[in-house]
Amino acid sequence: MSELNVTEAQFLQSYDPSRYERPIGVPADIVLFTISSESIAGSTKSLPKRELKVLLIKRKGHPDRGKWALPGGFSSPQETLYEAAKRELKEETGLDRIHFELLGLYDTPGRDKRGWVISAAFVALVNERYLAKRTAQDDAEEVGLFSIEEALSLELAFDHRDIIRDALKHTERQMLSTTIARELLDPEFTIAELLQVIQTVVPEYAMTKSNFIRKLLMTKSHPIIEPVEGQFSTAYSQRPAQLYRFVEGYEPVLSLYGDISPQQA
C-alpha cells in the first residue's frame, strides 16, 4: 500500500527504522576555556600573568584509553544534547551550572573507532573560579587545565584537536564582537585589565592602551562600558586608575554596513 493512502497512525505502526543506517550514538563534547591569573613574583604594581587554558580529561576506558580528551559522552533518547553536555561534564569533572553555546556538529567518517558517531560540540568561556572544584570522576582518570599550545601538542583522542581549534576561533570572534570579556573580570575593572583579557584570548589584537581607550570610549555611539563614579584602583598602577563596568542591558549588534543601534536591531 502506498504511503499516500495510509493514515499517520498506520504509517508509524508499520514504519521500520532498521531500513536506514543509523549512528551508534550521538555524544556531546564540551570545550571549556578559562583564563588563569598568576601574580608576578616581586612585583606589586603589575598586572597578573594571564593565560588562556582549556580543560581536558584523561580517558579511563577504551577507545583511546589514557589519552587526553574533551569531557563528554553519549546522549540518551530522554535528553537533549545540551542536557547531555551538562550531565556528562558533571559526571566526569564535578562541574555544574555552566552555560554552553553550541559550536557545531562533527561527523567526519572514521572520527570514532567504534563506528558511525556524530558529535555535538559545545563551548564556554568561564571565570577560573568556576573550575576550582574540578575533580576526576566516572570515566575520567584525571582532569587538568592546559595552555592552548600544550593541549594542541598532545596526542588527543578522536578529533578533539580539530574541535579545540574551531572553538578557539569561535571564542576569538566572540571576544572581539560581544561583551563576553565580562565573564573573566570583576564587576568593576580598569581599562588595562579589560585590554589584557582581550589580548590573552586574541594575541593578534595589537592595540596600545591609549588607542584602546580612544576606540572604546570616544568613537562608539553606544559605549559598552561606563566609568564608576568616584571609584579608582591602585592595585596594578602607581597612580589611581579609573574603574569601569559594562553597561547593563546593552549588547552591541555588528554589521558590515555600519553600526546598528539597539532600537534598529
Type of residue found at 21? E
pLDDT at site 42: 64
pLDDT at site 163: 98
The whole-model pTM stands at 0.88
Yes or no: say if 202 and 175 are a contact pair by the CB < 8 Å rule. Answer: yes
The string of pLDDT tens digits covering residues 93-138 is: 999 889 999 999 999 999 999 999 999 999 999 999 988 888 887 7
pLDDT at site 260: 56
pLDDT band at 11 (very low <50, low <70, confident <90, very high): confident
pLDDT at 2 exceeding the cut of 80: no
The string of pLDDT tens digits covering residues 32-76 is: 999 998 887 665 678 889 999 999 999 988 999 999 999 999 999
Q: Which residue has the higher pLDDT, 209 or 156?
A: 156
Average pLDDT over residues 217-225: 72
Rounded CA-CA distance 224/250 in Å is 7
The string of pLDDT tens digits covering residues 151-201 is: 999 999 999 999 999 999 999 999 998 999 999 999 999 999 999 999 999
- Would you call 179 exposed, middle or buried from its count of C-beta atoms within 10 A (0-12, 13-18, 19+)? middle
The residues carrying an active-site annotation are 142
Q: List the Cα angle 118/130/160 in 5-degree steps.
A: 25
Rounded CA-CA distance 260/265 in Å is 6
Percent of the chain past pLDDT 90, that is, above it, reads 58
pLDDT band at 263 (very low <50, low <70, confident <90, very high): very low
